[in-house]
Structure 1
Amino acid sequence: METAEAVEKYFQTNKNLPFKSRLVSANLLTGGLVNFVHRLRFEDGSTAVLKSYPPFIAFYRTISLSQNRYFVEKTALEALSSQPWLNKNPNSIIRTPKVLFSDDESFVLIMEDAGDKCETLFNLLASDVQLDDNFIELIPKEVKIFVNYLSKESGLTPNGNQIFVKVWQIVEEYFSQLWSNMTQKLQLEKEMELYLEKSKEIFKYKDSMNGVFVMGDLWPNSILIDQENKFIWIVDWEAARFETSTRDMEQLLANLWLMKQSPKFNKDKIESLIKHFQLEFFNSKDIDWRKGCGDFAKYNFILWIVGLLNESHWDLDNKRDTALKAFSEIADF
């Protein structure tokens, strides 16, 4: 469901939709890299978000991707729909979208809208955008509480939630295809290719049955900030799974590391944010998060950095040099 016209037709022909108010518009949101995401506006002024899951990556149509990710996100959001972490942390400002409608045949999910006052952390860290300094400290504190809830208190375990165990197959399939594209575009040197091969070993050591529940795709584009109403929304749950407890934080910090290499983003704010994350998760602003997480994080770091270099939205002038820098920093550990 790529276009507004397709969404409107879906509403006209689907008699099972629970919305009483007439659909007025459907606007494609720019954050959708993997799926097609539209903001719906209804005649009564209410809004919702429609997400459709094609059998490929929206941003890279040549890379196929299992539509089972729809069921993963649906299951995760339904499990979190009552916002149970608020029982122990009533002052938490973290929110996740509630599922309003699901269509298992068409792979369509309609969910609560965080609102058009929200902006992704990715965009808020751009060099010409203002991000309230209070959020630099607030985001790591809130994310830590939420991540700890997911891994320790959510009650989601591998034995009772096989849908999340199977996500590893989707992730591995995605990376194997990304690898082919990436090595052709970046023309990686031999020593870099060897390290990449070593990084692939993380798939051999995956241990879903002994892992903890993680969001699975925590990066600055899946964190929405509502500075006016003081809320942080965590969206895009189609990679939720069981893995190491530091997984979400590792991926987020790997993305922040890459962002600060680009003149597009505010390096000072990003470095401050990284330090606050290190303070929350390792009790020190000065410890390097990669060292604190161990070998698994190092391999993941290379995996993510070089994989992300295959994407165009980072505005990096020389992707090869950035990749080499990532390798050299890891080699120092």
Structure 2
Amino acid sequence: MGTYNLTDEKGLQKYLEATQFPAASVQLLSGGNANYVFRVTKHDGSTSIFKHAEPVLKLNKDFALDPARMDYEVRILEALSSTESPLPTSLTGSNVHAARFLTYDRSEKLLQIEDGGRRNLKDAYTDPKLDILYIGEQLATWLAALHIAARNFSLASPDQTADSNNNPIAVNVYRYSYNDLHTALTQFGHDPQLAVLINEKFGSLLATDDECLCHGDFWPGNILIRDAELQPIELTIVDWEMVRRGTSATDVGQFAAEAFLLDRFRGGRGLLDVFLNAYIAARGQTEVLGKAWLTRMVVHWAVHIAFWPTRVAWSGQEETHSLVDIGVLALQNVLEENWEKVLESPLLRDVKETYSTLLFRP
């Protein structure tokens, strides 16, 4: 790696003084277990975010993760920040955008992006001033536009000689919950063979999915909110290092899972339903969205619900057990192709009128 210790405030301050500008303040931000993220304030009061990748996770030094993941984040942020890009830098009437790229030091694996605000959607969800339904609709419309525009986008850098146009680091990491699902099922008294079967049948597909570009970690914690009093709310999408080519169903399924958890535990504000309906409306009658896509979306949602709450607590043990049960039941119903029960699951029961139409397409 580089010549500066970029894992603490003093090291970044020294780096900035030597290479860019003297900072008025450097603040290490909490949140995220992979990288070191700082808010840097200049002497004129302006702020930006610096993000540094190490070869191991910040909160688990035993877990190695190639720092080249940052190169892929830069590749997509540069494209999203370019007016010449085919990707949706912004949508007419939309207040959603990807974090604007500023600078990148490849040798130090240090990325500078705009400061999108001090709150993320997960933390701000309970704020009564926020129009959660509007936010869900805006995010779904933007995500659908990304998936549509990025059908042929390659993640290979111009100087890359390998054949792959994908991010192999993200492809590998994204199977983590499928690979470890058996541990959650065993912990709460379910047959771990279900997890093995789901991983073989669906987890294996993650290596070859190639429909479009996916954010790779699309959830409310990676959506920053800047809500000034005199202007519409602004939503900034961050943390693109798991960007990969895959199936759009996984981006939708992951956000749907976290929206379900927010609605269930933090006030039932309707984020899940409005997001799911708006996404289908924005995608329209595309050839991609059919029974196969719906299957993948439901499976991804169910794996997330059954696995992640056993690692990131939302409530007590009894409620966690009920979440695992919900995920397991949905997975069993998918395997048995019992679509009547799938449509009555907590994921789809309030949007089944819209989603049942997908069953009549391949």
Same fold (TM over 0.5): yes
Give 1:10's aligned residue.
15
Change (3 A) 1:155 1:302: closer
The separation in 2 between residues aligned to 1:249 and 1:184, in whole angstroms, is 22
The DSSP-based 3-state class of the residue aligned with 2:221 is coil
AA of the residue aligned to 1:40: V
The separation in 2 between residues aligned to 1:312 and 1:260, in whole angstroms, is 16
The DSSP-based 3-state class of the residue aligned with 1:320 is helix
Give 2:46's aligned residue.
46
AA of the residue aligned to 1:108: L
The separation in 1 between residues aligned to 2:251 and 2:177, in whole angstroms, is 22
The offset of 1:147, in angstroms, is 1.9
The separation in 2 between residues aligned to 1:256 and 1:32, in whole angstroms, is 18
Pair 1:219-2:219 in alignment:
yes
Give 1:286's aligned residue.
none
The offset of 1:132, in angstroms, is 1.9
The separation in 2 between residues aligned to 1:184 and 1:146, in whole angstroms, is 33
Give 2:141's aligned residue.
145
Pair 1:304-2:304 in alignment:
yes
Residues 67 and 107, structure 1, Cα contact 8 Å, conserved in 2:
yes
Give 2:99's aligned residue.
97
Identical amino acids, percent of aligned pairs: 22
The offset of 1:98, in angstroms, is 1.9
The offset of 1:86, in angstroms, is 6.6
The separation in 2 between residues aligned to 1:294 and 1:204, in whole angstroms, is 17
The DSSP-based 3-state class of the residue aligned with 2:206 is coil
The DSSP-based 3-state class of the residue aligned with 1:204 is helix
The separation in 2 between residues aligned to 1:72 and 1:326, in whole angstroms, is 32
The separation in 2 between residues aligned to 1:51 and 1:211, in whole angstroms, is 29
Give 1:278's aligned residue.
276
Residues 69 and 169, structure 2, Cα contact 8 Å, conserved in 1:
no
Residues 86 and 92, structure 1, Cα contact 8 Å, conserved in 2:
no
The offset of 1:99, in angstroms, is 2.0
The offset of 1:251, in angstroms, is 0.9
Match among 153, 158, 162 for residue 157 of structure 1: 153
Q: Which runs of 5+ in 1 are unaligned?
A: 284-288
Q: Which sits farther off after the overlay, 230-239 or 163-172?
A: 163-172
Question: Where do residues 58-69 of structure 1 align in structure 2 (5 Å cutoff)?
Answer: 58-69=58-69
Residues 120 and 224, structure 2, Cα contact 8 Å, conserved in 1:
yes
Residues 159 and 209, structure 1, Cα contact 8 Å, conserved in 2:
no
AA of the residue aligned to 2:243: A
The offset of 1:23, in angstroms, is 0.2
Change (3 A) 1:25 1:250: same
The separation in 1 between residues aligned to 2:243 and 2:95, in whole angstroms, is 21
The separation in 2 between residues aligned to 1:232 and 1:171, in whole angstroms, is 26
The separation in 2 between residues aligned to 1:178 and 1:38, in whole angstroms, is 32
Normalising by structure 1, what TM-score?
A: 0.80
Give 1:232's aligned residue.
235
